[in-house]
Amino acid sequence: MSIDPIAAVQVCEDLHAWEAGGAQSADALAAWVSARLAAHEAALAAMLAVNVPRTPENTLRFYDAAIEQLSLAGSQAGVLNSVAADKAVRDQAQLEAQRVSVAGAALSLNRGVYEALAAMRIEGCSPATTHYVERTLLSYRLAGADKDNATRAHLQELHEKATRLSLEFSRNIQEGAKTIVATEAELAGLPADYLSRHPVVKATPNAEGHVILSTDQPDMQPVMTFASSAALRERMFLAYHTRAYPANKEVLEQLLATRQEIATVLGFRSWADLATADQMMGSAANARTFLAKLDEASRDGALREYELILDFARRRQPGLADIDITSRGYWYEQFRRSAFDFDSQSVRPYFPYAKVEAGVLETAARLFKVEFRASTAPAWDPAVSVFEVHEGGKLVGRFYLDMHPREGKDKWFSAAPVVTGVRGRYLPEAALICNFPGGDEGDPGLMQYNDVITYFHEFGHLMHAILGGHTEWAGLSGFATEGDFVEVPSQMLEEFFRDEKLLQSFARHYQTGEPLSSELIRKMKLAGAFGRADGMRAQLYYTTLSLDLHDQDPAAIDLDRMTKRLHQGLQPWTWLEGNRMYASFGHLTGYSSNYYTYAFDKVIALDFFAQFDPNDLLGCDAGSRYRKTVLEQGGSKPGREMVRDFLGRDEEFAAFSKWLNEEFEGELVAAGS
Ligand SMILES: [Zn+2]
């Protein structure tokens, strides 16, 4: 083929799959992805054809253009796989995502590309370019690009197999929604708007009524929190935690075996050692050290919380020996109402979806000194709202909010890149794909406390993609930090929700317009703080499971036994037989052994937040400093350096431990009465 090096780095005109019809037609989507993959191949060919001494300008430039096309195709196939209305399009999007992964895996093993990058002279380059090159060469070595042909071919097969299994695992969860039947009596305790969304069906006027409930988040969560029927909670829990069982048991076993084989071929003891080698964490041993600190920081607080709740529950239900995992959320809620004189339902009228959205946007706009304007740009579905991000009169990014459940849409809450931003080439674009209440005509979408925190969290990711989307290279843009740094910006933004002044600026009653009172905020914060140590124990359980599954011989793993043993070792709540949570632990595909990321980044995020002036959160200079030293860097430097640049030192546990035990700072009312 003849190579036109200019064409190979040209800016792509066809930026959105849906503008090419890809949200409505499987064929159009396939054609759009094919065009991206062809441009990807052309850029690589141009890179390999260079026959003069290699420099970033004549080599990395092409490599980065190839990365750019791949991430464009992968991001949008991923988005459409989650949100497309038509099942045929979702199926196609899954195939396309797989095609992109296969191309990515092939690139990561491409010896010619590796040798070309390794041959570049990088003396005198910017620190970002040097970091990009060093990091890329490391990832090549971790992929085995320096191995012989036969080994590389074998590795490629294994990576393709792992990708296929991961997609199958996720898909089984996404499409595995179950339903359960509840009697009218079992709905006692559930809020009125939940009941009105689930009208009771009666076979005959005098028959006992029943309702059908799904395992989707908006149906499941209120049952686990409010339903006073233990039998209903148990049925919901089991349906929810078996929605991808038994199919995913075998898929997971094969996935673990495949990952271990990859690690072995590359000379690593375990997948966990391989998967942490290019992360901030560095090794499985360091991850264990971190987990031991987490264990120590959370142990006493969690036990104290459990004992308070158990004592409270026993006084209401004499003879209760212990509390099982299906009753955790329910007793928490009852305890909170009693001990804090706080009913989490009482704040929901102050969190109608539209007000929360306006509040999150306003907070981010002031904190990061940008402006958001509604846009009429097209998206994949009429339900999506599009916003432009402006700064100093200049357009600096665009984002998409797809915030409510829809038939066929996935059930998660996530932030996803849409267009990877590159300075002078592409404006960054990102999307939030969520399942918050609301979206239907006449439904105000009253949100729970945790929903609002989730909104702040996901918006933190979104701002990272946008503000970090102006780097010189696509490969350093936005989320391109080490994977175990990526939850810092999201968890940082969560903390702003706890500020009273800020909350009162947007939390208003959906009928009366009255602001959330200081008294209610105080109670809500206290109630919200209660259970943090226990919540961190739950994270520790998931985290240890994620590490243990990937840090030993998979042939010797009994999934049911391991899950139960870890639960019993790390959780005070009684295990329930029949719980197959591993089969729907969706994070195992993306995070594999590295689910510690959430807790690790929480420690960093809280240390970061402690640098802000509590009396002037949005106005103090920490906001600009944080934006500059962290968000704007994207992946231009190692996370370790960003932490030191912003803090002036490494992260410490002090702010985290204080946060974990905040509820015991004198205010906790003597448990119930
Ligand atoms: Zn996140």
CA of 255 to the centre of ligand 1 (A): 24
The angle that helices 353-368 and 622-629 make with each other, rounded to 10 degrees, is 80
> What is the per-residue pLDDT for 670?
45
For the structural domain made of 348-533+597-664, what CATH number should be given? Answer: 1.10.1370.40
CA of 205 to the centre of ligand 1 (A): 48
When pLDDT is averaged across residues 555-574 and rounded to a whole number, the result is 97
Q: Start-end ranges of CATH 1.20.1050.40 in the chain?
A: 5-146
Q: Start-end ranges of CATH 1.10.1370.40 in the chain?
A: 348-533+597-664
SS3 state of residue 649: coil
d(CA 302, CA 298): 6
CA of 166 to the centre of ligand 1 (A): 19
Q: Tell me: pLDDT of 385 over 90.
A: yes
Beta pairing class for 394-402 and 429-433: parallel
pLDDT band of residue 7 (cuts 50, 70, 90) is confident
d(CA 656, CA 662): 10
> What is the per-residue pLDDT for 2?
64
CA of 47 to the centre of ligand 1 (A): 35
CA of 388 to the centre of ligand 1 (A): 22
d(CA 635, CA 119): 23
CATH number 1.20.1050.40 is the correct assignment for the domain at 5-146:
yes
Q: Tell me: pLDDT of 668 over 60.
A: no
CA of 473 to the centre of ligand 1 (A): 24
Chain centroid offset of residue 529 CA: 22
Cα dihedral 539, 541, 547, 549 in deg (nearest 10): -130
When pLDDT is averaged across residues 620-627 and rounded to a whole number, the result is 94
CA of 413 to the centre of ligand 1 (A): 9
pLDDT band of residue 672 (cuts 50, 70, 90) is very low
Q: Tell me: pLDDT of 106 over 90.
A: no
Q: Tell me: pLDDT of 412 over 90.
A: no
Per residue in 121-167, pLDDT (tens digit) is 999 999 999 999 999 999 999 989 889 999 999 998 998 899 899 99
CA of 400 to the centre of ligand 1 (A): 17
Per residue in 474-512, pLDDT (tens digit) is 999 999 999 999 999 999 999 988 888 889 999 999 999
Dmax (CA) of the chain: 87
d(CA 159, CA 153): 10
CA of 479 to the centre of ligand 1 (A): 11
What distances in angstroms separate CA 576 from CA 409, 572, 637, one per listed residue? 30, 12, 45
Q: What is the DSSP string of 525-580?
A: HHHHHTTHHHHHHHHHHHHHHHHHHTSS-GGG--HHHHHHHHHHHH-SSBP-TT--
Per residue in 72-92, pLDDT (tens digit) is 999 999 999 999 999 999 999
CA of 602 to the centre of ligand 1 (A): 11
**CB of 46 closer than 8 Å to CB of 8:** yes
SS3 state of residue 125: coil
When pLDDT is averaged across residues 384-412 and rounded to a whole number, the result is 95
When pLDDT is averaged across residues 287-295 and rounded to a whole number, the result is 96
> What is the per-residue pLDDT for 220?
96
Across 534-550, b (16+ Cβ under 10 Å) vs e yields: bebbbbbbbbbbbbbbb
> What is the per-residue pLDDT for 665?
65
Q: Tell me: pLDDT of 39 over 60.
A: yes
CA of 598 to the centre of ligand 1 (A): 8
Which residues lie across from 389 on neighbouring strands? 372, 397
**CB of 230 closer than 8 Å to CB of 326:** yes
Q: Tell me: pLDDT of 669 over 80.
A: no
pLDDT band of residue 202 (cuts 50, 70, 90) is confident
**CB of 433 closer than 8 Å to CB of 414:** yes
CA of 314 to the centre of ligand 1 (A): 36
Q: Tell me: pLDDT of 326 over 50.
A: yes
pLDDT band of residue 667 (cuts 50, 70, 90) is low
Around 187, how many Cα atoms within 13 Å sit in the side-chain half-sphere? 23
Q: Mark residue 279 as left, alpha or beta (left: phi above 0; alpha: psi -120 to 50; beta: remaining).
A: beta
For all residues of the chain together, what is the average pLDDT? 94
CA of 457 to the centre of ligand 1 (A): 6
Q: What is the DSSP string of 481-525?
A: S-GGGTTHHHHHHHGGGG-HHHHHTT-B-TTT-PBPPHHHHHHHH
> What is the per-residue pLDDT for 1?
53
d(CA 372, CA 375): 9
Output the CA angle 491-494-499, nearest 5 degrees: 140
Q: Tell me: pLDDT of 3 over 80.
A: no
**CB of 429 closer than 8 Å to CB of 378:** no
CA of 38 to the centre of ligand 1 (A): 32
Phi, psi (5° rounding) for residue 219? -90, -40
pLDDT band of residue 192 (cuts 50, 70, 90) is very high
Which residues lie across from 395 on neighbouring strands? 390
Which stretch of DSSP H or E encloses residue 30? helix 26-49
CA of 120 to the centre of ligand 1 (A): 36
**CB of 36 closer than 8 Å to CB of 17:** no
Residues recorded for the chain: 673
For the chain, give the percent of residues with pLDDT over 70. 98
What distances in angstroms separate CA 260 from CA 148, 266, 525, one per listed residue? 20, 10, 44
Q: Tell me: pLDDT of 577 over 80.
A: yes
When pLDDT is averaged across residues 459-463 and rounded to a whole number, the result is 98
Around 136, how many Cα atoms within 13 Å sit in the side-chain half-sphere? 28
CA of 660 to the centre of ligand 1 (A): 19
Residues 6+ apart with CB under 8 A from 159: 105, 108, 109, 143, 262
**CB of 583 closer than 8 Å to CB of 250:** no
Q: Which of 2-11, 57-66, 75-84, 85-94 has the lowest mean pLDDT?
A: 2-11
Task: Report every protein residue that has its C-beta within 5 angstroms of ion ligand 1.
Answer: 487, 490
CA of 556 to the centre of ligand 1 (A): 32
pLDDT band of residue 262 (cuts 50, 70, 90) is very high
CA of 209 to the centre of ligand 1 (A): 40
The pTM score is: 0.88
What distances in angstroms separate CA 623 from CA 5, 139, 662, one per listed residue? 42, 33, 24
CA of 513 to the centre of ligand 1 (A): 31
CA of 104 to the centre of ligand 1 (A): 23
CA of 51 to the centre of ligand 1 (A): 44
CA of 460 to the centre of ligand 1 (A): 8
pLDDT band of residue 671 (cuts 50, 70, 90) is very low
